[in-house]
Structure 1
Amino acid sequence: MTGAQIEALVRGRHADSFSLLGLHHDPAGPGMVIRALLPWADEVAVVARDSGRKLVRMRCIHPDGLFEAKLVQRRRHFDYALEVTARDDIQVLEDPYRFPACRSDADFYYFNEGTEEFAWQRLGAVAWRQEGVEGVLFTVWAPEAGRVAVVADFNGWDGRQHALRKHPTSGVWEIFIPGVCDQALYKYQIHDSQGQLLPLKADPYARSMQHPPDTASRVVLRPPFTWTDQDWMQQRAQLHQVQRPVSIYEVHAGSWRRKAEEGNRYLSYLELADELIPYVQEQGFTHIQLMPISEFPFDGSWGYQPIGMYAPSIRFGTPDEFRHFVNACHARNIGVLLDWVPGHFPTDPHGLGRFDGSALYEHFDPRKGFHPDWNTLIYNYGRGEVLSYLVSNANYWLEEFHLDGLRVDAVASMLYLDYSREEGEWIPNPHGGRENLEAIHLLQSVNRRVYARHPGIMMIAEESTAWPGVSRPVDSGGLGFGFKWNMGWMNDSLRYMARDPIHRQHHHDEMTFSIVYAWDENFVLPLSHDEVVHGKGSMIEKMPGDEWQKFANLRAYLAFMWTHPGKKLLFMGIEIGQRREWNHDRGLDWQLLDQPQHRGVQWLVRDLNRVYVEQPALHQRDCEAGGFEWLQHDRRELSLFAWLRRGHEGAPPVVVIANLTPQPQLGYRVGVPAPGWYEECINTDASEYGGSGAGNQGGVVASDCPCDGLPCSLQLTVPPLATLVLVHRPEKIGQG
């Protein structure tokens, strides 16, 4: 070695340590030379691995711990180990530099191409066995880096000891390090192409990370988790979700409930399994949707600025403990959805930004690579390796954690190049348009591949514009999602409900307009966390009137939502009439359930879920026009709405009447399609819900008086600020 090579090695700046360290032909003679860089060692000897026999003592050729020994034998590969003495402690270590490459450029062909679906199996820190030796293979994509090293708790965070070798064609670096233990902490030390040292980087494919504010990645080597949800997974694959009841309880894992007596700490995944799952089952929700749990550095981002896309947040436990939570949900017939954030990522120095010194994961030009709304970076969806990273990540959560679907955040911000940008702040696509063709391709690729690989899942878009075909198949020109959030319904209906009832007659269309486009997409009706934060007030406090009217309005609105076409999503706390805005640093105010009016809202949501699941007419044809028929949509002066829900043949029809004024309607007539008994299965004014108790004493028999274009009709008491739900029960015609 030259003096310059030695200096570069011991200073941790040599670009190819594998060319100098380990076993090599001796250029000065017929034998071989072994070199090792062990800055902490006092003495080093080469020993035979099979017998432990000492072959040769290595001499120190640099005081910073560079050792060298010459061997007379000429074999390029033979099993040796290093006997290292440090402060009178002797241990025998494997030399990472004696092993050949574990990967080849060919292994990353599909990754570079942008079609890899299992990138986490090839990149990151994975358990590996090489020549009979157990260890961990560290692999990272950093094509513009001049040098990459693993720094970790097992090497004293010293970047000189474990420098990676580069595969030039793929831009991937790797090193096999024997003897690395489960839960070892590590990062990547990267020099850019100019030799400048970058901030230490977390592994983009880390399976676990340190608890924030610490930022190291964590090795995960535990044996495979034992799943017991085979029946659920098999049944799920046979379901068509558009025809199923889907009632989603949206949860922020850090604030659903906290342990106030233990420093206000989070519940763990295991505790959530014990406490959240029974609650959700009792309330009758079919799914839990978790706000993002991909590891994120800042609590106040609620998970929407993730750093560890492959790491379930350690705030709540280990990856296997999260698997336990999902497994337990499936045992109770509850599906699990996860908020997924491929639209942007934070600029934290240990994250993906300028990962190898270049704009690797993001666009170089901030007009495409920076989000002004969130001060975050935007993925370069046109780069094959980034496409593989994101497609694989979606597949990872479904494959490794048996999730039942993903809700994709901020899709509109991905689709439009001019999203939240003024003229001159964005770059048109090659056709001169504002559509982000690369993001469209990503979303279509994700949806097409995960639906093909995981039958029965749900891919849900949070998309707030009129982009066509969000929930239409890719081969029909759509984005390929299964469902789309109906933001229009949410905005219009909340605006209406916030009005004083005396003014509602002038804004009647805010409650009826959603039916005009109700079947343009497969919709989910969301009352999400976004509606109860940032000064918007809690759901109960949005409602006008005195205390009684606030609760009556909320109850009537929830029943309106549950009987309107579309699947349902309700953010935690709304079901108990939470009075204060949601705060991610506090648990919900469960003590409110000691008050009858709050308990009444909770009981109503429970019963709405039960009726929604039990009555096919309320869910089977959610996504087709034949499942809905207006009975009365123009009673503006009364702020009254009546409609009919129909299921498949043989399913009893359901009649819904909503009176959104404080004035009761006595003897009110509504048309129905057939004679017989109509059971009042929901009355939001029932006394057990905190209402006045007005109603129809369990049901009404239809008369043969035509009304609303139908041959029969009901004459009803419609309570004030209330919604009635009646189910046709012809077998009970003599009752009432």
Structure 2
Amino acid sequence: MDTLKLIANDPWLEKHADVITSRYESARSKEFELTQGGSLRDFASGYFYYGLHRTNEGWVIRDWAPNATAIYLIGDCNGWKKDEAYRFASVGNGNWELLLSFDQLAHEDLYAFNIEWDGGSGTRIPAWVKRAVQDDETKIFSAQVWSPEQTYEWKNPDFNRGKEAPLIYESHVGMAGEEERVHTYNEFRENVLPRIKAAGYNTVQLMAIPEHPYYGSFGYHVSSFFAPSSRFGTPDELKALIDEAHGLGLAVIIDLVHSHAVKNENEGLGKYDGTRYQFFHSGPKGEHPAWDSYCFNYGKNEVLHFLLSNIRYWLEEFKFDGFRYDGVTSMLYFDHGLGKAFTGYDDYYNANVDIEATTYFYLANKLMHEINPNSLSIAEEMSGLPGLASPLADGGLGFDYRMAMGVPDYWIKLIKEVADEDWDVGQIFYELTSKRLDERVVSYAESHDQALVGDKTIIFRLIDKEMYFSMRKDQPNMTVDRGIALHKIIRLATASSAGGAYLNFMGNEFGHPEWIDFPREGNDWSFKHARRLWSIADNPELRFHWLADFDQEMMQWIKRERLLEIPEVFWRFDNKTDQILAFSRGEFLVVFNFNPINSYTGYGIPMDASKWKVLFDTDEERFGGQGRIDKGMTYYTRPAAGISSQHYLNLYLPARTAVVFKKEAFRRIR
């Protein structure tokens, strides 16, 4: 075959060409094996067959449990006892089927499976269940019949996110309100979606949607892969949330956890049919040493059928617009990338890479874009595997974006370890823009990871205890002033230089205080830190709204001008001693003075002959600044000597301030 474009674009990959080509051919071979020349979409149709379905004749329930010797449906319908009338029949290839009349099951009935195998038996929530609910007192999960008389009617069935660069508002439905409790899909739809729209974001990322037994897992220990979490409401209420978002022009994606599964047996897939190896690898390969969870066997066609069907289910049944794939690094490497520093290309092309996982990603991304060409596929991946977010046809794995996980790590390290006056502006620009030319990334200053208990958000690192005492406007405080100034500058630098997309976790845009901590034994099951205090951002007497207002101005600018769809970010100038940095993107110039003390008058930024106007700056009084920059001025470059010599844009640059300029039409006089 011809040389793959991934290799042709990067000479350093030539020595690994055979491995890259072999992985690509393995994925294509597996695709043909599964589809026999048909479509992946048709292959990924398991949820139409398995699980509970209402037909014209009655109910039909099917399951795959190859090690089972018998399966019974138990529940409200039969007093939770084994009954021959509710015994499944084996129909071959490890599949089981039960036919029931309409009067044997009803909408909202609770049920489960009793699965028997040689030497044992167990109660199980069906693997393909579409709704599971938890008893408030016993905390036991049950499957629930969900078949309302009126099916949900979509108001915006044809929504298409198009090619707009994602501006992502990472969210958690349960903690999205102020009260100390779990909040709902309806509350998020009514109260939070309008905030996201007004703030200028165009994509909502929902965490913890597939059902998970432990609320504090943030949704990363999934038990029922086809069931939206009932903690937040019904499937129809989730559909209404997505529908409303689409009506507002907002795309909606979810965290998809196909990297591992919770070990729980009654409500999860652990030892589902009495074996460890039905869905997962047996032995140590099947257990994640850091996450206490089971690892899927991507070499099994039945597992691929389950996971790919799960992708199609969320895209088609709930009209989600894509996924942020969790734990991609863990999936790619047999050692899960734990404690490993990826320092050279050899680390990506050795026996540590799981070819079955690279094949899975090829299939998953091809399926997604077969169903919806504009769907979003984002990889949470930290090893830097070349080609991860390159097109499949080029030899890549087909993700649209990878998370720029080094950027928030860099900001935190800088704030923790380096004094303000020693920040290296050239290094800052490098860290913000360093990526492969053939890939797009989701840039972010902080996500939910930086807000979890045991860590600190950027604003908390900058202000710390003063957060509790000095956030009122009538309480002057230099520590708070510094924190607010740097919070705005850090976000502007990250967002305006982003490599294709930008992300923020809900509340971080206005400096939400403290940390995230879900109810657990260690905090007496408190919800105090599992909520969002929107009222402090709305309170005109507090400083938080300054940060929210600035973020809104910044995001509206990026969205209006489609800034992140301009691929090139050009370095214009930096001075390490003065701590001045300038870069341009399209017709916009962003100039930073990171210096904590020195303001500069008439500071020359080398430019071509041009004319500029200030759009906004971090020092405006409406954003908590001192209003030192004259927004009414028009700035012209001036030559150093004759008209043909180097031109300079001479600016007033106050300390700890950033300014966004827009280029205006300019006629050069000769």
Matches within 5 A, 1:392-411: 392-411=309-328
Residue 640 of structure 1: aligned partner: 580
Pair 1:726–1:172, CA change in 2 (3 A):
same
- Classify the secondary structure of the residue corresponding to 2:364: helix
Answer yes or no: is the 8 Å Cα contact 1:147–1:164 preserved in 2.
yes
Q: Does 1:318 pair with 2:234?
A: yes
Q: Does 1:257 align with 2:173?
A: no
Aligned counterpart, 2:402? 484
Check the 8 A contact 1:700/1:714 in 2, yes or no. no
**5+ long unaligned stretches in structure 2:** 1-33, 341-346, 464-477, 519-526
Q: Which of 657, 662, 670 in structure 2 is aligned with 1:727?
A: 662
- How far has the Cα of 1:220 moved from its partner? 1.6
* 2:613 maps to 1:679: yes
Q: What count of residue pairs does the alignment treat as equivalent? A: 589
Counterpart selection for 2:594 from 636, 660, 666? 660
Query: Among 363, 366, 371, which residue is 1:445 paired with?
Result: 363
Query: Aligned pair in 2 of structure 1 residues 227, 308: CA closer, same or farther (>3 Å)?
Result: same
- Distance in 1 of aligned mates of 2:336 and 2:183: 37
For residues 683 and 507 of structure 1, do their structure 2 counterparts lie closer, same or farther at Cα, with a shift above 3 Å needed? closer
The C-alpha deviation readout for 1:146-169, integer Å capped at 9, x for no partner, is: 11111111111112331101122x
TM-score by length of 2: 0.83
Q: How large is the Cα RMSD of the aligned pairs?
A: 2.8
Work out whether residues 643 and 657 of structure 1, in 8 Å CA contact, stay in contact via their aligned partners in 2: yes
The aligned residue for residue 211 of structure 1 is: 134
CA distance in 2, matches of 1:359, 1:502: 53
8 Å CA contact 2:615, 2:631 repeated in 1: no
CA distance in 2, matches of 1:330, 1:706: 53
The question of whether the paired residues in 2 share the 8 Å contact of 1:681 and 1:698 is answered with: no
Aligned to 1:569: 503
1:161-240 superposed matches below 5 A = 161=84, 162-168=86-92, 170-179=93-102, 180-192=105-117, 194-198=118-122, 200-211=123-134, 213-222=139-148, 223-233=150-160, 236=161, 239-240=162-163
The one-character-per-residue Cα deviations of 1:395-427 (angstroms, maximum 9, x if unpaired) are 11111111111000010000000125699xxxx
How far the C-alpha of 1:197 sits from its partner, in A, is 1.5
The answer to whether the 8 Å contact 2:451/2:457 transfers is yes
Provide the C-alpha distance between the structure 2 equivalents of 1:516 and 1:265, rounded to a whole number of angstroms: 41
* Distance in structure 1 (CA, Å) of the matches to 2:334 and 2:410: 27
Q: In the superposition, relative to structure 1, how do residues 710 and 174 fare at CA in structure 2: closer, same or farther (>3 Å)? A: farther
1:289 equivalent in alignment to 2:223? no
Residue 703 (structure 1) aligned to one of 637, 659, 665:
637
SS at match of 2:204: strand
* 1:536 and 2:455 aligned: yes
Work out which of the residue numbers 37, 47, 51 in structure 2 matches 1:124.
51
After TM superposition, the structure 1 stretch with the greater mean CA deviation from structure 2, 218-227 or 410-419, is 218-227
Partner of 1:17: none
Q: Quick check: 2:425–2:579 contact (8 Å CA) kept in 1?
A: no
- TM-score with structure 1 setting the length: 0.76
The answer to which of 138-147 and 696-705 deviates more is: 696-705
Name which of structure 1's ranges 218-227 and 560-569 shifts more when overlaid on structure 2: 218-227
Alignment of 1:225-624 (within 5 A): 225-233=152-160, 236=161, 239-240=162-163, 244-258=164-178, 260=179, 264-350=180-266, 351-419=268-336, 433-505=351-423, 508-517=426-435, 519-526=437-444, 527-543=446-462, 546-566=479-499, 567-584=501-518, 585=527, 586-593=530-537, 594=539, 595-616=541-562, 618-622=563-567
Cα distance change of structure 1 residues 665 and 370 upon mapping to structure 2, 3 Å threshold: same
Cα deviation code 1:567-619 (max 9, x no counterpart):
11000111111120123433212343224421100000100011101224x22
Aligned-partner SS, 2:121: coil
Q: Where do 5+ consecutive residues of structure 1 fail to align? A: 1-106, 424-428, 647-652
Tell me, in whole angstroms, the C-alpha distance in 2 between the residues paired with 1:227 and 1:711. 59
Q: SS of the counterpart of 1:129? A: coil
Name the amino acid aligned to 2:490.
Y
Deviation string, structure 1 residues 323-356 (Cα, Å, up to 9, x no partner): 0000000111111111110001111121101110
* Deviation (angstroms), 1:367: 2.3
Q: Is the 8 A contact 1:355 1:361 kept in 2?
A: yes
Question: Which residue of 2 is the match for residue 21 of structure 1?
Answer: none
CA separation of 1:493 and 1:521: change in aligned 2, threshold 3 A: farther
Code of the residue aligned with 2:171 in structure 1: it is V
Structure 1 counterpart SS, 2:96: strand
Greater RCO between the two (CA within 8 Å, min separation 6)? 2
Alpha-carbon contact 1:269-1:322 (below 8 Å) kept: yes
- TM-superposed CA distance for 1:281, in Å, is 1.0
1:266 is displaced (CA, Å) by: 2.7
Quote the sequence identity (%): 25
- Cα gap change, 1:288 to 1:710, in 2 (>3 Å): farther
